Structure 1
Amino acid sequence: MTLLRWVSTVVIVGAIAGGVYYMMHGQAPDSVSASRRGAGMGGPVAVIAKNTDRADVPIYLEGVGSVKALNTATVRAQVDGRLLSVNFNEGQDVKKGDVLAKIDPVTYQAQLDQAIAKKALDEALLANTKKDLERFQKVGTLAISQQQIDTQLALVKQQEAQIKSDAASIENATAILGYTTIVAPFDGRTGIRLVDEGNLVHSGDAGGIVVMTQVQPISVLFTLPQQQLPMLTKSSAEGKLTAYALSTDGQTELDTGTLKVIDNQVDQQTGTIRLKADFPNEKRQLWPGQFVNVRLLVDTLKGVIVAPTEAVQRGPDGTYVYVVGADNTAEMRPVKISRQDEKFAVIADGLTEGEKVVTSGFGRLKDGATVSVSDGKAPEQSPPALSKKSADGKKAARVGDAANVGVQSAQATAPAAPDAALVTGSTSEDKKNSDKHRHSHRDNGASP
């Protein structure tokens, strides 16, 4: 029985080893040849390609600027007094001449009345002096001297001048009285109120009552490098230039206006030229003090060949593109670029309208390579490849299956015995049971 157990164990171990070796090294001939073919042959290179086109390309000059109100005024009191009322709401749109605030006018009204009374007094004196002059002139030198006549004439002229002075005093008092009513200097928008009604205001107050800004239309001050000045002056001489105000990220167009003025000197410290453009600001997307990007249209290239910017590659010999031919073969072709931005490149030489150029998939691409062209849309989903971990798991499962097959084969080959082991090795308890069984046989006269 011991010999039989030993033979069974050897058979089981051999079956397991054979199954493992088979699964590790015994690939089918078809799978081996397929893997060799896959490693030795390279398929077409997958690329994305787009066609060149003929179009009108605008030329822009771009700069950074800040929004400035067309008119800004700090509304201050021109006379001293108590602020009787504030007649506007903060952030209100007002028209030129609208009453913004009123100052107590009592003192200034009294000064005006006093000036009017003074003029009336001087007019009465003048009338009496003129009558005396008329009497002196009628009597003549027979009753009075010529000196008295001349003195009376001088007195008339003096009083006439006094009346003119009184009239000027009245006008001055009227103007001062008018300053007690504060009105809007232009159409605009009020800001935050700087003083409340009931306070004493003075003509020398620095803060004022409110700050007004004119936001429709509105201006933008921006700068451009001095190297662009020749193109700028040439284009502005041909007509008005269109300006576009963009958000700080350059993605949103806020308003469209026109270039108003080019500054008369270049800033020597920064090497830039300042410009000013006016915008209607109908939607109020521009606000005083706001930072914006400005794009100035200076020219338009008519009917030029354009290609996607991502198609242009650069090498030791200059710029080039890969052109896809009718036989799906990629040709590396040198090109000349006259102008380029983030979207399109203007091709001066090297391409014609309608040619297909590669825009993506340059990793394995070379001159003369066969390509598989797509239009950039999402490809169909292919079954996901097994990860290394999953493949190892399946491989281990196959090894386990082979081991089970070997065990089952060993069981079928070995003769049935009560104490035959099903796994490699035996426990001490099994050994004790076997010895006891053997002794019982000897006691009964059985051979071992």
Structure 2
Amino acid sequence: MNYQHSEIRSDTPAQVAGETYAAKRWNEQRSLPWRWIILGILVVGGLVAAYLLLGAGESTAVPAADRNEQAPRITVVAPGTTAIEGAINATGTLAARRAMPVGVVGEGGRVVSVPVEQGQWVRAGQVLASIDRSVQSQQARSAAAQIEVARSDANLAQANLDRALQLVDRGFISKAEVDRLTATRDAARARVAVAQAQYNELLARNARLNILAPASGLLLERNVEPGQTVSAGSPALFVIAKGGEMELLAQVGETDLAKLTPGVSATITPAGMDKSFTGQIWQLEPTIDAQTRQGTARIALSYAPGLRPGGFATATINSGTIVAPMLPESAILSDDKGAFVYIVDKDNKVRRRGVTTGIVTPGGVAIVSGLTGAEKVVLRAGGFLTEGETIVPELQGAKKAPAAAAQPKTATKG
């Protein structure tokens, strides 16, 4: 059986060759679709390359106007010039314009009454405090009695003189005696004047035991209580704001201080208040602080309940009118070189222009230098532009022209 099977499995050379040729044909037929696929890819690639070459040639032939249509449209503004009310912002402390300290002017003593309170209005000559005068009152009574004694002596001396004058004509009294009696009468009269003066002095001293207001105004401080002993060397017992007038001691940089003059108006806003008060500079202090490089502008204010000495306040001082271009904050950029804007030249290219900014107002920022106002300034999107970039400027507020109908473009083969 095995022998017969081996006979059946044996192949002749012709049979082997036929089978090999058939296998090759089958493999060739099997790889044929892949060849077509590769050929198609090569053809498509060639077409794409040709299109790109033709497109590049066409783009080189596109007019400049068409290229500008592809540039970004950017809003620009021609600021011109504007009259701007200059303002300087400053801060400072409120104080009494004329603070009047009131203390003991007499010999002092024990305080017996203080009939006023701080925050109260007082008038000139009003009693602010009284000092015990029991001893001084007795001294005044004694002085008054001395006046009566001296006056009695003067009356007696005058009577003696009158009698002597009646007897001198008769020869009973010499002229020398008359002269002596006259001198006695004059001395008695002088003693009356001395006693009167001493009495008046005591009255004046006693009057000074009352501490009086030197002028009308607002009582800011009360530093004494009944029972307290005071003397001429004691600190001020009261402080009065004369007339209730206040002021702001505004701290201003030396550069801004040079722009101010007395009489300039200012608006004052105390801390914690929405209400503002109007005042004016009445004095510019002549010195500059060497550490802070600031000077003091003293701004006078009328009395108002919201103005409390020692409080903090801000001031907006009118520094005059300037004429300069005004730009919104969106148009102004800054970097390590300083503030700048982008302007558009005659070729519609973006150019950087350094500027110096001034005061800030609700309408924008004043440009002190760098612009004349006739330039076209990029209003927004300056941060996305680069110098030299071409744009299509659209002037703010100008009416836009209707868009032209799109025209078919003809590719030029070169």
TM over 0.5: yes
| TM-score, reference length from structure 1 | 0.57
Corresponding position of 1:177: 206
- In structure 2, how many angstroms separate the alpha carbons of the residues matched to 1:191 and 1:319? 49
The amino acid that maps onto 1:261 is Q
| TM-score, reference length from structure 2 | 0.61
Contact 1:322 1:330 in 2 (8 A): no
Are residue 288 (structure 1) and residue 309 (structure 2) matched? yes
- Once the two structures are superposed, residues 76-121 of structure 1 have per-residue CA deviations (whole angstroms, 9 ceiling, x without a partner) of 4445444333323443333334443333343333333222222222
- Once the two structures are superposed, residues 311-332 of structure 1 have per-residue CA deviations (whole angstroms, 9 ceiling, x without a partner) of 234689986533589xxx7754
- Once the two structures are superposed, residues 38-76 of structure 1 have per-residue CA deviations (whole angstroms, 9 ceiling, x without a partner) of xxxx99769787773653212344554332212334444
Match among 211, 226, 245 for residue 268 of structure 2: 245
Contact 1:215 1:288 in 2 (8 A): no
Corresponding position of 1:426: none
Match among 93, 105, 119 for residue 121 of structure 2: 93
Corresponding position of 2:359: 341
- In structure 2, how many angstroms separate the alpha carbons of the residues matched to 1:195 and 1:241? 40
Aligned residue pairs: how many? 323
Corresponding position of 1:106: 134
- In structure 2, how many angstroms separate the alpha carbons of the residues matched to 1:116 and 1:127? 17
Match among 133, 150, 156 for residue 179 of structure 2: 150
Mark the CA change 1:332 to 1:202 in structure 2 (over 3 Å): closer, same or farther: same
- In structure 1, how many angstroms separate the alpha carbons of the residues matched to 2:185 and 2:255? 74
Contact 2:340 2:354 in 1 (8 A): yes
The amino acid that maps onto 2:267 is Y
SS of alignment partner, residue 245 of structure 2: strand
Match among 273, 282, 287 for residue 260 of structure 1: 282
Match among 178, 194, 197 for residue 165 of structure 1: 194
The amino acid that maps onto 2:321 is T
Match among 153, 156, 175 for residue 128 of structure 1: 156
Corresponding position of 1:70: 97
Match among 141, 145, 149 for residue 117 of structure 1: 145
The amino acid that maps onto 1:368 is T
Measure how far apart 1:306 and its partner are: 1.9
- In structure 2, how many angstroms separate the alpha carbons of the residues matched to 1:156 and 1:298? 77
Mark the CA change 1:51 to 1:216 in structure 2 (over 3 Å): closer, same or farther: farther
The amino acid that maps onto 1:307 is L
- Once the two structures are superposed, residues 321-377 of structure 1 have per-residue CA deviations (whole angstroms, 9 ceiling, x without a partner) of 33589xxx775474765x612441236674547x874454323124433579999xx
Matches within 5 A, 1:192-271: 193-197=222-226, 199-204=227-232, 206-207=234-235, 209-214=237-242, 216-227=244-255, 231-232=259-260, 235-236=261-262, 240-247=263-270, 254-264=276-286
Contact 1:51 1:356 in 2 (8 A): yes
Contact 1:46 1:373 in 2 (8 A): no
Corresponding position of 2:341: 321
- In structure 2, how many angstroms separate the alpha carbons of the residues matched to 1:319 and 1:80? 67
Matches within 5 A, 1:345-356: 345-346=366-367, 350-352=371-373
- In structure 1, how many angstroms separate the alpha carbons of the residues matched to 2:293 and 2:343? 42
Corresponding position of 1:435: none
Are residue 59 (structure 1) and residue 96 (structure 2) matched? no
User: Where in structure 1 are there 5+ consecutive unaligned residues?
Assistant: 1-41, 376-448
Contact 1:45 1:365 in 2 (8 A): no
The amino acid that maps onto 2:186 is K
Mark the CA change 1:308 to 1:147 in structure 2 (over 3 Å): closer, same or farther: farther
Mark the CA change 1:269 to 1:48 in structure 2 (over 3 Å): closer, same or farther: same
Mark the CA change 1:318 to 1:189 in structure 2 (over 3 Å): closer, same or farther: closer
- In structure 2, how many angstroms separate the alpha carbons of the residues matched to 1:300 and 1:217? 29
Corresponding position of 1:186: 215
CA RMSD of aligned residues (A): 4.4
Measure how far apart 1:257 and its partner are: 1.4
SS of alignment partner, residue 185 of structure 2: helix
SS of alignment partner, residue 363 of structure 1: helix
User: Where in structure 2 are there 5+ consecutive unaligned residues?
Assistant: 1-68, 398-414
